[in-house]
Amino acid sequence: MKNSIKLILLTMVLMMSSTAFSQKAKKTETISIKTSSQCDMCKLTLEKAMAYEKGVKKSNLDVPTSILTVEYNPSKTTPEKIKKAVTETGYDADELPANPAAYEKLNPCCKKGAHK
């Protein structure tokens, strides 16, 4: 009798922990966005903007390839929203063009062609 209670408890604990684990595993997704960034200044600007973006956990811009990698919580944001946030910072995000007003506010060294 005692043993069967232990077994039930153990089963419950195992079920709960596996559920918690699978939820944790699903909480983060990663996207890579090709941006129009060019230098370390762009890296600072974009990563700072991502830090304030809802649902974004981590971001990293690889300057040589201009690829922004973003870790996000899919229950709080979507790749579309993240790309839109990138365009509103003044950079192209994949097929989406930069917001012109935000682009105008960028540091001169971050404008297109500044590093050619």
The answer to whether 61 contacts Cu ion (rule: CB under 5 A) is no
Question: Considering only CA atoms, which of 93, 105, 114 is closest in space to residue 40?
Answer: 114
The answer to whether 98 contacts Cu ion (rule: CB under 5 A) is no
- 3-class SS at 50? helix
Residue number, 24 or 116, with CB nearest to Cu ion:
116
- 3-class SS at 15? helix
Q: Of the listed pieces 1-9, 11-19, 60-68, 102-110, which binds Cu ion according to CB under 5 A?
A: 102-110
Binding site for Cu ion (CB under 5 A): 38-39, 41-42, 110
